[in-house]
């Protein structure tokens, strides 16, 4: 692993950690209606009246997979020949 790959790996870890600290949120209504609540700090979720938003886990996992795929491809592109 060269220095560029190490920096890339550290960057990927930092992005995934930030995504975990500021995940996407959503409100789920009584009738099953889903409203996106944007992004926020994981320990201070957005509120709408008396409703507290939930972490949109599927979206968070999709974002993580995207970062891992893009980072993995970049990791391969920067390998020594």
Provide the pLDDT for residue 77: 95
Extents of the domains making up the chain: 1-20+49-81
> What pTM does this model have?
0.88
The helix or strand, by DSSP H or E, that contains position 61, with its residue range, turns out to be helix 57-77
Which residues have C-beta within 8 Å of that of residue 15, sequence separation ≥ 6? 67
Q: 51: burial class by Cβ within 10 Å (0-12, 13-18, 19+)?
A: middle
Provide the pLDDT for residue 50: 85
Sign of CA dihedral 43, 46, 50, 52: negative
* Cβ contact 13:80 at 8 Å: no
Distance from C-alpha of 44 to C-alpha of 52, rounded to nearest angstrom: 10
State pLDDT tens for residues 15-59.
Answer: 999 999 999 999 998 888 999 999 999 999 999 888 899 999 999
């Amino acid at each position: 692993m060269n220095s560029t790959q190490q920096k890339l790996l550290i960057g990927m870890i930092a992005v995934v950690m930030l995504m975990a600290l500021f995940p996407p949120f959503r409100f789920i209504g009584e009738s099953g209606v889903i409203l996106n609540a944007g992004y926020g700090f994981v320990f201070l979720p957005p509120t709408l009246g008396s409703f507290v938003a939930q972490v949109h886990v599927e979206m968070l996992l999709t974002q993580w997979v995207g970062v891992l795929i893009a980072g993995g491809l970049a990791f391969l592109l920067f390998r020594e020949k």
